[in-house]
A and B are shown apart, each in its own frame.
Chain A
Amino acid sequence: DTGVSQDPRHKITKRGQNVTFRCDPISEHNRLYWYRQTLGQGPEFLTYFQNEAQLEKSRLLSDRFSAERPKGSFSTLEIQRTEQGDSAMYLCASSENLRGGDRYGYTFGSGTRLTVV
């Protein structure tokens, strides 16, 4: 297992375009999380999945953001009509579903750095 994989590593897009990012979690992890991080800040929660079910979505997320996790495996995060304020590092993380599984923390992927010009 190579850990959490994210693709692409970098994305430059023009304002108004749509972008889609992919995350492949560690295979035995059934929880998957998306975070966004800007310079000098900690990761900001966006959404999370348990298997294929999206259980929570941040109130800060506009309707331009959508995430899916078909079949409970990989996940995609789409941003429609990108704005300059969307420029950030988008981080995916996964964790195991163990008893007391919320105690085990996350494994993060390397992130996708989005630049909107």
Chain B
Amino acid sequence: QKEVEQNSGPLSVPEGAIASLNCTYSDRGSQSFFWYRQYSGKSPELIMSIYSNGDKEDGRFTAQLNKASQYVSLLIRDSQPSDSATYLCAVNMSPGGFKTIFGAGTRLFVKA
């Protein structure tokens, strides 16, 4: 079992729709969770972090965490073509919590 699993996609949504990206992780002791966006040929950039169960909203982005189910998701509302990228789910591994393990990423295409 991989430590962080994501559907590779591609996920295709029309402009203005909600894109839903999902991630599961194996380390039940993990405390911090992140979503990074990576455009083709570029390095990852942090867009959201979450560490408490429930939802965390930042603009058009909402991260959701369910530690009991070991599940993290990212919702992108009013998707724009500029949101087309690979979205990486990342989890800080216990103990210590300073090493981040990344999933393979989900490719998102937003069609104009």
Q: A residues near B, CB below 8 A?
A: 31, 33, 35, 40-45, 48, 50, 55-56, 89, 91, 102-111
Residues of B within 8 A of A89 (CB): 43
* Residue of A33, A43, A91, A102 touching B97 (CB-CB under 8 A): A102
A43, A103, A107: residue with the most chain B Cβ atoms closer than 10 Å: A43
B4, B8, B88, B99: residue with the most chain A Cβ atoms closer than 10 Å: B99
Q: Are B103 and A42 in contact (CB under 8 A)?
A: yes
- A56-B99, A105-B46 known; 5 new pairs, CB 8 Å cut-off, are A31-B98, A35-B102, A44-B102, A102-B98, A106-B46
Residues of A within 8 A of B36 (CB): 105
Residues of B within 8 A of A48 (CB): 98-99
Give min CB distance, A37 to chain B, whole Å.
9
CA distance A108 to B45 in the complex (A): 7
Number of interface residues of B (CB under 8 A): 26
| Known A-B contacts A42-B103, A42-B105; A103 and B32 likewise in contact (beta carbons under 8 Å) | yes
Q: Which residue of B lies closest to A107 (CB)?
A: B46
Q: Are B104 and A41 in contact (CB under 8 A)?
A: yes
CA distance A22 to B34 in the complex (A): 26
B100 located at the interface, meaning its Cβ lies under 8 Å from any Cβ of chain A in the complex:
yes
Q: Are A110 and B105 in contact (CB under 8 A)?
A: no
CA distance A50 to B99 in the complex (A): 11
Q: Are B49 and A45 in contact (CB under 8 A)?
A: no
Q: Are B43 and A110 in contact (CB under 8 A)?
A: yes
CA distance A111 to B51 in the complex (A): 28
User: CB-defined interface of B8-24 with A at 8 Å, one 1/0 digit per residue?
Assistant: 10000000000000000
